[in-house]
Amino acid sequence: MQSHPTPEEAAKALNEVNERREQAAAPDAHPAWTLWALGAVAIGYGVVSDLRPDLSTPLLFVLVAAALALAALPRWKRSGSAMGYQRSPSSHPVGMSGRARMMRTGVMLVLMALAAAAGLIMRSFDVPYPTTIGITVVVLTIPLWRGLLNRAARDPKA
């Protein structure tokens, strides 16, 4: 004999399914600490490259290798969950349209172009520590541009 669920049980199960669907379709699978850690490392790189330009290139290679490792580690379930990921990040997030992905990429490219232009302008005016200042401004505006990227990912017009 099969028992039918009560309306409360059915509503609870439906809510769980909806919550899991929203988690799976969330545009930003990365824990917040990863972005702030990246910002702290970037500021450290700026300080080192301004104070010791001879260490700039070797340090950049080390940082790129570390970033590649941090990008690959969450793909494995154990290391990803240890780092705080609720799901494996993907290059094509579920529920994100092609237009939204292009918008996110465009915002990132504009940010990089603005940072490069600001660095060139500061160097031409002999501003001390231009790399540190430029990177610090980008890191301090993380909440702003993260909001822009997430809004672009949730774009309902796409």
pLDDT of res. 155: 57
Compute how many other C-beta atoms are within 10 angstroms of the C-beta atom of residue 142.
Answer: 14
What is the domain partition of the chain in residue ranges?
30-89, 94-158
Cβ partners under 8 Å of residue 55, min gap 6: 48, 49
Q: What is the pLDDT of residues 16-29, one digit of tens each?
A: 887 776 665 554 56
Would you tell me how many other CB atoms lie within 10 Å of the CB of residue 15? 10
Around 64, how many Cα atoms within 13 Å sit in the side-chain half-sphere?
6
The pLDDT of 130-136, averaged and rounded, is 87
Average pLDDT on 34-58 reads: 87
What CA–CA distance (Å, rounded) separates 49 from 105?
27
**Identity of residue 56:** S
Strands (E) across 8-145 are located at none
